[in-house]
Amino acid sequence: MESMKWDVKVLCLTASVCRRLRATAKRLLWRELCLFRAPRITESLSNGVHSSRMLGGWPSLAKLLFFCGGCNSTRNFVMSRSKPGHFVAESRFSKTSGMSFLMKRCRNDLLFVSDPCEHRLGDQEDDLGVFRGVFRGFRESMTRACLIARQAALEESERCPYCGARVWSMTAAGLVPRKAAKRLGSHDGALEYFVCVNGHLHGTCWLAPLSSDEGEDEEFGTDGTDGTGNSSGDGGDHPTARNGFRYDGFNDRNT
């Protein structure tokens, strides 16, 4: 795998061959992929303990790092049509961006958020941004504590595109800071995002031109280097849509 630079598509195909290879990938290969292709973010999320279990599983983290989950209309974000998920060549995740998604009382939480993956819907519509992220130690986070304190209900029809777990709508819970829209380059209120019980974040927004007064990010690339990854391009539509029913090579489940 190292000779192929841990190509995620090759690993997905390998894991799809048989149960034995799938078990090997789940136990070892997805973790090694994350360490090789995204070393700094993986170190931060695992607290440097590579043998530890990752909340939601290593396959789910690998999928989050290298796969744009696509999007469908939700009750708070209506689109003219759905967009399927697709692999991305490289992504940039930022702790600075993550801070923009945390309420003031939750600023001690550690959250990484990607740049939005841009999708064109039509000439009469703004471009669509699809973004994703992950918390470190979500079960002990203040964000989760706030959701529980507010008695926020888990969504009935939405699931995490990375681990399949149930999710909270941060919009419905009233936990979306105004600075999140600015960080994404979106209009205020023109976004929706969810956090699952394992701490994976996914969301959508309508994109507007970015301002030039953003601060410096501490960036974490997923191309085997640190701080040099570009934002995710569309990369073409991939047949594995977010809420479809097709084995994607990452998990022992349909997505």
pLDDT tens column, 180-215 = 988 888 877 788 999 999 999 999 988 875 555 544
Name the residue with tokens 């696509």.
70
Q: What is the mean pLDDT of residues 92-111?
A: 94
CA-nearest of 217, 200, 247 to 62 is 200
Question: CA end-to-end span of the chain, whole Å?
Answer: 25
The pTM (predicted TM-score) of the whole model is 0.77
Q: 202 burial class (0-12, 13-18, 19+ CB within 10 angstroms)?
A: buried
Query: Domain extents for the chain?
Result: 2-221
* pLDDT at res. 248: 53
Do residues 60 and 200 make contact, with C-beta atoms less than 8 angstroms apart? Answer: yes
pLDDT at 29 over 90: no
* pLDDT at res. 74: 86
pLDDT digits (tens, 9 = 90+) for 106-126: 999 999 999 999 887 766 567
pLDDT digits (tens, 9 = 90+) for 48-80: 666 667 888 888 998 999 899 888 888 888 877
pLDDT at 233 over 50: no
Cα distances from 117 to residues 3, 82, 89, 215, 235, in angstroms, run 28, 14, 11, 20, 9
Per cent of the chain over pLDDT 70 is 73
What's the rounded Cα separation, in Å, for the pair 107 and 20?
43
Q: Which residue has the higher pLDDT, 25 or 130?
A: 130
Question: According to DSSP H, which parts of the chain are helical?
Answer: 8-15, 19-24, 30-37, 39-46, 58-66, 95-99, 142-149, 178-184
Report the chain's mean pLDDT, rounded to a whole number: 78
